[in-house]
Amino acid sequence: MQAEKKITSYQTMIGQRPHVVCPICGQQVHFVTTIAGKQMPCQIALEYGDGKKTLVTHTGRTVRKAAADVLGFQPHWGFCKR
Coil, strand or helix at 77: helix
Residue 71 belongs to a domain = yes
Average pLDDT, the chain: 80
Interval 10-47: pLDDT, tens: 444 444 456 788 888 888 898 888 899 888 899 988 89
- Judge contact between 45 and 53, C-beta under 8 A: no
Q: Which domain holds residue 40?
A: 11-78
Listed residue (37, 59, 23) closest to 73, CA to CA: 59
Residue 3 belongs to a domain = no
Residue 4 belongs to a domain = no
Residue 6 belongs to a domain = no
Q: What is the DSSP letter of 22?
A: P
Q: What is the pLDDT of residue 12?
A: 47
Total number of domains constituting the chain: 1
Residue 64 belongs to a domain = yes
What are residue 77's phi and psi, to 5 degrees?
Answer: -60, -25
